[in-house]
Amino acid sequence: MKTNVGEYEIDEDRSRLDFDRVQTWLSDTYWSPGVLQEKVEQAAQHSYMVVGAYLNDEQVGYMRVVSDCTRFAYLADVFVDPAHRRKGIGRGLVKFALEHPDLLDVRSWLLSTTDAHGLYRDIGFSELRTPDYWMQLIRSW
């Protein structure tokens, strides 16, 4: 499946992904500092969906969806190259996943962010209704 956001193309074709670029982006984020390319590729391989955003075949955005396609989906690694931000690409990536025919039956969508709450609220996300129900285990790499 493909769609457009202005002059940008959003595509789930994994063969188009530039993992050198994705690893560089993600290794500079607060959620994956220093992540190795091997781990980026492994995460993509084991994700239900991996999506790229492109301008003239140059990759400018990335996102993964981890899901069972029925009850649960997690948006991960939503990233847009700084030179292409504020053009609707991040919103387009997320909407691509939410509107994908394979994921229309998913009941619960989750994500984690420290700085993009407004973007996700505009799409329909909200803070956890019962955060005290949730637990986490974080292992060091």
Q: What is the CATH number of the domain that holds 68?
A: 3.40.630.30
Residue 134 inside a domain? The answer is no
Provide, rounded to the nearest whole percent, the portion of the chain with pLDDT above 70.
99
Measured from the Cβ of residue 66, the count of other Cβ atoms closer than 10 Å reads 16
The pLDDT value recorded for residue 138 is: 85
Give the mean model confidence (pLDDT) for residues 1-13.
96
For residues 23 and 34, the answer to whether their CB atoms sit within 8 Å is no
Specify the pairing of strand 72-80 against strand 108-110: parallel
Q: What is the mean pLDDT of the chain?
A: 95
2-5 sheet: strands from edge to edge: 2-5, 8-11, 49-55, 58-67, 72-80, 108-110
Query: What is the pLDDT averaged over residues 38-67?
Result: 97
Could you tell me which residues are beta bridge partners of residue 67? Answer: 73
Per-residue pLDDT tens for 68-89? Answer: 999 999 999 999 999 999 999 9
Domain count across the chain: 1
Task: DSSP for 84-107, please give it.
Answer: G-SSSHHHHHHHHHHT-GGGTT--
Q: Are the beta carbons of 74 and 110 closer than 8 angstroms?
A: yes
pLDDT of 141 above 70: no
136 lies in a domain? no
Q: Structural domain of residue 20, as residue ranges? A: 2-127
Q: Residue 133 domain-assigned?
A: no
**Residue 22, amino acid:** V
| pTM listed for this prediction | 0.92
Asked whether residue 140 carries a pLDDT value surpassing 90, the answer given is: no
Among 90, 102, 114, residue whose Cα is nearest residue 10:
90
Examine residue 139 and state whether it is found in any structural domain, yes or no. no
For residue 135, being part of any structural domain is answered with: no
